[in-house]
Structure 1
Amino acid sequence: MKKRLFSKIDYWFVVLFLVLTSCSNTQSLKNINSVEFKSLIVSNKNLLILDVRTDIEVASGIIPEAIQVDYTADNFEQKIAQLDKNKTVFVYCATGGRSAAAASVLAGNGFEHVYNLEGGIEAWKEKGFSVVKNNN
């Protein structure tokens, strides 16, 4: 007689646990368009706007009040670990690819509310929304 490692009940608990934990990051991370992004920035008081582009890219301008943390830098995860996880994070890059990856890292590191700008700063500019020169 073969002995089972898991009973049927144990199996379903494991499945349920995996489903719930895999959904937790997607619930805290949302991809939104530039109009939604701007609207939420205006209405949110406890926020952080995170530009994950390189220094060269940021020289062309950033969204007002944004801080830069280069996603391609070796110390990206160390820098985001220093940020306030209680704040709602609005993250963007040039066209949305790197910021989607960065947003996933943020959500995976305990940030509860993360919004990724679909289309990046290019989509932001296409709507005529303002950018400012980075003074960092």
Structure 2
Amino acid sequence: MADLTQEEWAKQLSADTNAVVLDVRTQDEVDEGIIPNAVHIDIYGGQEFISKVEELDKTKNYYVYCRSGNRSGQACAIMNQLGFDNAYNLVGGITEWEGDIV
């Protein structure tokens, strides 16, 4: 897992042709806005979260975010334990995101 600043995350994401953006917030939070093309899997889903993550392609690079960066950091750690080599945590989360939100 790597913690990336907002600038590092956006720059690396824009240059990555193998990227998946993963939103691990609750549905209520997602309803307030989501980064375009993000996949939503709620980390509070417990075993359902783990099951859904295990279905993801481990060869992709995952850019993970939540509201502040704490839950996404936990999600990246779980993903690493499940065999994902490239999970990047957005420090500061969507709260500090300056890019597009839909």
The runs of 5 or more residues in structure 2 that have no matched partner are: none
* TM-score (norm. length: structure 2): 0.96
For the residues of structure 2 that align with 1:66 and 1:85, how far apart are their CA atoms? 17
Q: Does 2:87 match 1:114? A: yes
Aligned to 2:100: 130
TM-score by length of 1: 0.73
Structure possessing the higher radius of gyration over alpha carbons: 1
Structure 2 residue matching 1:115: 3-state secondary structure: strand
CA distance in 1, matches of 2:8, 2:36: 16
Report Cα offsets for 1:16-35 as digits up to 9, x if no partner: xxxxxxxxxxxxx1001111
Q: Secondary structure at the match of 2:57?
A: coil
Count matched residues. Answer: 101
Q: Corresponding residue for 2:69?
A: 96
Q: Which runs of 4+ in 1 moved over 4 A?
A: none
Q: Share of identical aligned residues, percent?
A: 38
Counterparts of 1:118 and 1:36, CA distance in 2? 10
Greater length-normalized contact order (CA 8 Å, ≥ 6 residues apart) = 2
For the pair 1:32 / 2:21, whether they are aligned, the reply is no
Structure 1 regions of 5+ residues with no counterpart? 1-28
